[in-house]
Structure 1
C-alpha cells in the first residue's frame, strides 16, 4: 500500500479501537457502583480489625464524578482489550514475517493470562497492604482516605504486579529472537532474584513478609521457567546447526 493507504488503514483501526473502548467505558460506568464497593471493602475492614473509624472521602465537589469516570475508562480499556489488541495486530501483521507472526502470537497467548494472574495476585495482597499501612497511625485517630488517591494506589499496584508477571515471557521472546541466550539468563539469576525481592518489598510493605514472599515465589518460578524454555530452544537450535554443518561436509 501507498503511504496514503496506510494512513487511511491506520485511521480505520484507531476509530474501531476507540469505539470499542467507549462501549466498554459505558459498561464500566454502569458497574462503577459495584466496583466502588469492592474497592472500599479493605478500608471498611479496618473498623473491625483496628477498632477505629475508617472511610473513603471525596474531598472535592467533582471528585466523585472524576473517580467514576476513571473507573469507567479503566474498565473500558480492559473489557475492550480484545478489540483494540486485534486492531493493532491487524495493522502490523502485513509487515511481519511468518516467524515474527508466530513469536507475536505466542507472546500474546502467554502474556495475557500471566498479566491477569499478576493482577489477581496484586488484588489478593491489597487488603493486607491497606491494613498494614493504616496500622502505623495512632490508635486514637481516624483513617480518612481520599477516594481518588486510594484508587490510583490500587490501580498502580495491580498493574505493576501484572506487568512484573509478564517480564519472563519477554525474556523468552528475546531468546527466540536470538538476542538473549539461555546462558545469559541463567548467569544473571542472582541479580534477577535480588530485583524480584526488591520489587516485592516495594510493592508490599516491608513488615508484611507473608505478602512479599507470596508475590516473590511465583515470580522466581516464572523466571526459572523462562530460563528453562530458553535452554530448550538453544539446545534444539544447536542440534539443528550441528546437523546442517554435518550435511555440508563432503564425504
Structure 2
C-alpha cells in the first residue's frame, strides 16, 4: 500500500512565521479595502438591510422613521454595518489565504477532501442569509408590528419608532446566525472524515439534537415563535442531510477498504503460487 504524498516543502520555523505574516497581511488588506468600499456605500447597505421593515411600514401608511438617541450612535452603527458587509465580501480572500497557508502541510487526499468545503461554505452561508432576509424577517416584523394600537377612546397610541442601532444589530445577528447554522452539514461531515462522528451515532442522538436546536434558536432569535421555528426547522433538516452525507462517506470508505483488502489478498495469493 502506497503512502500518500505530502505536498509540503520542509521549512524552518522563521519561514513559516514569515509566510503566516504575509498571508495575514493580504487578508487584513482585503478586509480594509472592502471596509473602505462598504463605508462609501454604507447608505445603500443600510437601505438594503432596512428594506423588509420599510416595506411593511409603507403598507401601513403614515410618516414612519427610525431614530437614534445618542450623538455617536448613528456613526458607530454605520461603522458596524460597513465592517459586517466588508467581512462577508472579504471572506473568500481570507479563507483562501488561510487555505494556502495550511495546504502545503496536507496530504494530497486531504487537500482533495477539504477543497469542496471551501466552495460549499460561502454558498450555504448565502442560502441561510437569503432565507432569513426574504422569508423569516418579513413574517417576524409583521408579527411585531401587529402590537401597534391606534389609541382609541382617548388612550395614547402605541407606535414603533425603532432605534437604528438596535434594528441593524438584530438584523446582522439573524443573518450571522442563519448563515453559521447552515454550515452544520459541513461540520458534521468533516467530523465524520476524521472519525469523530458516525451516521449511527448522529441518528441515535437525534432527540438531543432537537432540544439543542430549539434552545440555540431561542437564544439566537427574537422572542417570537416565527423566528425560532424558522431557524430550528432548517437546522433539523440540515441535520438529517448530514446523516445521509456521513452515511455516504462511510460507504465510500468501506468500499475503499474492501478494494484494498481484495488487492492485498490477490497479491498474497500470487506470492504463494
TM class by shorter-chain length? 0.7 to 0.9
State the distance in 1 between where 2:94 and 2:148 align.
Answer: 44
Matched residue, 2:139: 128
Matched residue, 2:182: 165
State the distance in 2 between where 1:122 and 1:86 align.
Answer: 27
Determine whether 1:12 maps to 2:29.
no
State the distance in 2 between where 1:242 and 1:199 align.
Answer: 41
In 2 relative to 1, CA 130–237 (structure 1 residues): closer, same or farther, beyond 3 Å?
A: same
Over the aligned positions, Cα root-mean-square deviation in angstroms equals 2.6
Following superposition, the deviation at residue 54 of structure 1 comes to: 4.5
Matched residue, 1:85: 95
TM-score (normalizing by structure 1): 0.86
Task: Choose which of 32, 36, 40 in structure 2 pairs with 1:22.
Answer: 32
Q: Which moved more, 1:198-207 or 1:27-36?
A: 198-207
Matched residue, 2:153: none
Q: Which moved more, 1:157-166 or 1:40-49?
A: 40-49
* Bigger Rg, structure 1 or 2: 2
Query: What does the per-residue CA deviation read over 1:113-161, in whole Å, with 9 as the maximum and x for residues that have no partner?
Result: 1111011112121122223234345551231222112111111111011
State the distance in 1 between where 2:175 and 2:196 align.
Answer: 30
Structure 2 spans left out of the alignment, 5+ residues: 1-10, 151-156
Any conservation in 2 of the 1:52–1:141 contact (CA below 8 Å)?
no
TM-score (normalizing by structure 2): 0.80
Determine whether 1:38 maps to 2:55.
no
Structure 1 spans left out of the alignment, 5+ residues: none
Task: Choose which of 63, 79, 83 in structure 1 pairs with 2:73.
Answer: 63
Matched residue, 2:192: 175
Following superposition, the deviation at residue 46 of structure 1 comes to: 4.8
Determine whether 1:231 maps to 2:247.
yes
Any conservation in 1 of the 2:52–2:133 contact (CA below 8 Å)?
no
Matched residue, 1:240: 256
Matched residue, 2:7: none
